Copies of this chain bind each other. A is one copy, B any other.
């Protein structure tokens, strides 16, 4: 084995390594019932452009507040347990081996552990420099940019007609 082996080992998290990670208990800032234990696998190996998290949600809790990202994609792969997935106004039972993918700006979602065991998921998402999130049940919008988060009630946003005729870039 080469002299740089101590460096390359850091890109690998074995199942035992993951089990040993301490994780972080996160309560969503808009929903005290949305509580998860979050182990960021991506951060642990030095990734920064995507978030890759193993999350554990206990029975009778949500993973996050019902939300939609306008720019970032997010997806969920269920590793253990079961839950109730809400997409817009529809509800689906989900369990181990199921996948949910959320293209940007299409539908809001939330995930609730309605079972008796811990719900464990891989959650992956983009980490764009700019994103805008909507919390439809709270009538709030969050503007995220460069590590900052700014939250505004829908009723306080105005939509001016600004530079008439401004041509927007194709991207």
Contact = CB atoms under 8 A, between A and B. Distances in A.
Main secondary structure of the interface of A (DSSP, over half): mixed
Interface residues of A, number: 92
B90 A167 contact: no
Given A48-B73, A149-B162, 6 more contacts: A4-B89, A15-B95, A43-B167, A45-B103, A47-B103, A128-B169
A171 B42 contact: no
A42 B75 contact: yes
A99 B13 contact: yes
Contacts of A109: 11
Contacts of A49: 72-73, 104, 126, 169-171
B169 A129 contact: yes
A41 interface: yes
